[in-house]
Homo-oligomer: A and B are copies of this chain.
Amino acid sequence: MTHKIHFARYFPILQCLKNYTKQDFNGDIFAGIITAILLVPQGIAYAMLAGLPAEVGLYASILPAAIYALLGTSKTLSVGPVSIAAIMIASVLSLPEINALGSPVENAIILAAEGGLILLLMALLRMGSLVNFISHPVLTGFTSGAAILIVLSQIPHLLGLPKNPCGMHLACYSEYLPHINLIATSLGAGSLIFLILFSTPLPALLKKLNLNQTLITGISKSAPLMAVILTTGIVALYQLSETEHIAIVGQIQAGLPIMHYSFIKNITQWQALLPSAFFIAIIAYVESVAIAKVTANLRNEKIDPNQELVALGAANLGTAFSGGMSVAGGFSRTMVNFTAGARTQVATLIAVMILSIAVIFFTEQFTYIPKATLAAIILLAIFPLIKLTDIYKTWQYDRGDAIAEITTLLGVLILGIEEGIAFGVAITILSYLRRTSRPHIAIVGRIEGTEHFRNIKRHPVKTWEHILLVRIDENISFANVSYIIDFIERETFNNPETKQVVLIFSSVSYIDTTAFEALENLIKVLKSHAICLNLAEVKGPVMDKLEQTHFLKQLKPGRVFLQTSEAVAKLNAAKS
């Protein structure tokens, strides 16, 4: 029995299968077919985006997706190649020093393997919560920036230009106008219009015609595949790749990926790729969990962040061993899977089986897929990720957060993808540290006729000239101790009558070494002015720590009082 529970903890899918119903299966099989239809063009398109052969994207959609289905805690997250990771891989592979170390495919596989190991290590150290330190503004700024880079990278494909000649210099495109391949542009623009029509206007029309909702979903979601089939047919029929130089996907290796270990050899290569692998893994994890939470919330299911580290880590190791690129949960694919009615990860397993059949038998048919169509598919998937209006919304709510968002966005566009996110995180943490370095501190007095002590600024309270009562409302650490000490010294020396200072520690449950030493120093400074420091309402754990040291000896003649009221009574009695 305990064995079973153990098993179910590591393989969340077992819990699902225990209560699996016929209805669940009906939902899963339909969603599985629809998702599989999306997987082929997306897999090829994201491999192209990363600058890799098409099969690398297809392989990444098979084993990793199956591994996540077994280990993941989301019932609907669709794991495979994703656009953001793809553009990050592309930016690494474009570096000359990385290129010198091995082939793009080999480098991409090592990136995935390292990412997987990093995520598994984080799971072991239970560091799932650390990714909370990528705040929403930074994540949104990063995603928008990366999405803009993706759009720019697809423009040449859409226009049938040779490899991206302009990068971010939009003005440069005008010079290339004569080189635009009009047939490629027509294929791309046609696909784009086709996809836009099928995304919202057509389903709305079909709904008015009272068509079955399942059928509408099926028609709408297979638009990418239909666009691919139509344009590929045209290209193949008229041999446009020969006569009109239309860029096509080309020959794809047929058959399932073969497990291999050949990428584990070159330490220099692994070292050179490690920083990028770290960034890709973190972003893949953060985006996956964010997407998983969206669908889980809609169905009141729970995502376990630590188990997600395990599942995504294993999926990325799986992609490496089966010759694929880094994987994560994809937003558009997951939403398709969810809205098509997926109930459990069985849907993913069905999609994987269909895709495997396609990879075994139909790669021949993928050869003539025009890159312009794939570019159109990428553009339509990526546009919703550019959230520039979000910056305005954030600005209205909190300017500091908006600045972090804009900085991250501009950082991604100007400095580079990894630099942008590192910069954004640094800004978030710095402004957080700055904010928490000004804790709430109150000078308190007694509410007449009670034993309650309250802020003298807010309540009419009794105070005593020779006693200063200071309540510190936060844990004391290196980040805020100089602010606290400055406050106490200022308040103490402002009133020359002060002879006793009482620090009320009712909200202090932790004092770090830096703060501890600063307090020791405060005792000395006050003593040199013949002022005595006392403590009151010290919590158990804090008292234990102080007793381990010489602090209480140094405090003398200052004392530690249980209650503030006791401190006031005894210090008043001692005076008179």
* B479 & A432 in contact (Cβ 8 Å cutoff): yes
Task: Choose the segment among A50-58, A307-315, A380-388, A514-522 that binds chain B (4+ C-beta atoms closer than 8 Å).
Answer: A514-522
Question: Which residue of chain B lies nearest to A132 when distances are taken between CB atoms in the complex?
Answer: B482
**Contact in complex: B514, A135 (CB < 8 Å):** yes
Chain B positions within 8 Å of A473 at CB level:
507
Interchain CB contact under 8 A, A549 and B478:
no
CB-nearest residue of chain B relative to A128?
B482
Question: Which residue on B lies nearest to A529, using beta carbons?
Answer: B300
- Cross-interface CB contact of A440 among B397, B400, B509, cutoff 8 Å: B509
A245 within 8 A of B: no
A133 and B300 contact, Cβ closer than 8 Å, known pairs A396-B548, A397-B545: no
**C-alpha spacing A479/B129, complex, angstroms:** 9
Residues of B contacting A433 with CB < 8 Å? Answer: 130, 133, 429, 432
Binary CB contact string for chain A from 395 to 434 against chain B (1 if under 8 A, 0 otherwise): 0111011100000000000000000000000001110111
Complex-state Cα separation, A516 to B516, whole angstroms: 34
Set of chain B residues within 8 Å of A455, measured between Cβ atoms: none
> Contact between A479 and B524 (Cβ–Cβ < 8 Å)?
no
The reply to whether A132 and B397 contact each other, CB–CB distance below 8 Å, is no
| Closest chain B CB from A452 CB (angstroms) | 9
User: Which residues of A (133-184) have their CB < 8 Å from a CB of B?
Assistant: 133, 135-137
Q: How far is the CA of A130 from the CA of B478 in the complex (A)?
A: 11
| Chain B residue contacts of A525, Cβ below 8 A | 297, 300
| Cα–Cα, bound, A297→B529 (Å) | 11
Chain B residues within 8 Å of A482, by CB: 129, 132
Q: Do the beta carbons of B514 and A136 come within 8 Å of each other?
A: yes
A483: B residues at CB distance < 8 A: 129
Per a CB cutoff under 8 Å, which of B133, B297, B481, B549 touches A396? B549
Residues of B within 8 A of A529 (CB): 300
- Measured between alpha carbons, how far is A429 from B430 in the docked complex, in Å? 10
Whether A363 sits at the interface, judged by CB under 8 Å, is no
Q: Beyond the given A132-B478, A398-B545, A440-B509, please list 19 additional residue pairs across the A-B interface where CB-CB is below 8 A.
A: A129-B483, A130-B430, A130-B434, A132-B479, A132-B481, A133-B479, A135-B478, A135-B512, A135-B514, A297-B521, A396-B548, A397-B513, A398-B513, A401-B514, A402-B513, A432-B477, A435-B475, A436-B475, A473-B507
A198 within 8 A of B: no
- Alpha-carbon separation in the docked complex, A172 to B507 (Å): 55
Residues in B whose Cβ lies below 8 Å from that of A270: none
From known contacts A433-B429, A545-B397, infer whether A137 and B300 are also in contact, taking CB-CB under 8 Å. Answer: no
Say yes or no for A437: interface residue by CB 8 A criterion: yes
What's the Cα separation between A398 and B513 when bound, in Å? 7
Task: Please judge, given known A-B contacts A473-B507, A478-B428, whether A401 and B132 are in contact too, CB under 8 Å.
Answer: no
CB of A440, distance to nearest CB on chain B (Å)? 7
Return chain B residues, CB-CB under 8 Å to A222. none
Contact sample, A vs B, 20 pairs, CB 8 Å cutoff: A129-B434, A129-B483, A130-B434, A132-B481, A135-B512, A136-B513, A136-B514, A397-B516, A398-B512, A400-B512, A401-B513, A401-B514, A402-B513, A432-B433, A432-B477, A432-B479, A435-B475, A435-B477, A436-B436, A436-B475
Assess whether A463 is interfacial by the CB under 8 Å rule: no
Q: Which residues of B contact A297 (CB under 8 A)?
A: 521, 524-525, 528
Would B136 and A401 count as touching, CB distance under 8 A? no
Taking Cβ atoms with an 8 Å cutoff, the residues of A that contact B are: 129-130, 132-133, 135-137, 297-298, 300, 394, 396-398, 400-402, 428-430, 432-437, 440, 473-475, 477-479, 481-483, 507, 509-510, 512-514, 516-517, 521, 524-525, 528-529, 545, 548-549
A135 to B512, CA, bound (A): 9
Chain B residues whose CB sits within 8 angstroms of the CB of A517 once the complex forms? 136
Q: Do B548 and A437 touch across chains, with their CB atoms under 8 A apart?
A: no
A548 CB to nearest chain B CB (Å): 6
Residues of B within 8 A of A516 (CB): 397-398
A433 — nearest CB in chain B belongs to which residue? B133
Q: Top 4 closest A-B pairs, CB basis?
A: A135-B478, A136-B514, A401-B513, A135-B514
Please report the C-alpha to C-alpha distance between residue A446 and residue B528 in the assembled complex, in whole angstroms: 46
Contacts of A437 in B (CB 8 A): 129, 132
Give the distance to chain B from A155, nearest Cβ to Cβ, in Å: 32
Is B513 a contact partner of A548 (Cβ separation < 8 A)? no
Q: How far is the CA of A401 from the CA of B516 in the complex (A)?
A: 11
Beta-carbon contact of B137 and A513 below 8 Å: yes
Residues B401 and A137 in contact, CB atoms below 8 Å apart: no
B397 with A548: CB separation less than 8 A: yes
Q: Report A474 CB to chain B, min CB distance, Å.
A: 8
Chain B residues whose C-beta falls within 8 Å of the C-beta of A521 in the assembled complex: 297
CA distance A168 to B304 in the complex (A): 46
Task: Report yes or no: A549 in contact with B432, Cβ–Cβ below 8 A.
Answer: no
In the bound complex, how far is the Cα of B495 from the Cα of A365, in angstroms?
Answer: 57
Kindly name the residue among A398, A510, A513 whose own CB sees the greatest number of chain B CB atoms within 10 A.
A513
* B133-A528 in contact (CB<8A): no
* A129 and B437 alpha carbons, distance in the complex (Å): 9
What is the minimal beta-carbon distance from A501 to any residue of chain B, in angstroms?
A: 16
Task: Give, as a whole number of angstroms, the nearest-CB distance from A271 to chain B.
Answer: 15
The minimal Cβ–Cβ distance linking A545 to chain B, given in whole angstroms, is 6
Question: In the complex, what's the smallest C-beta–C-beta distance from A308 to chain B, in angstroms?
Answer: 13
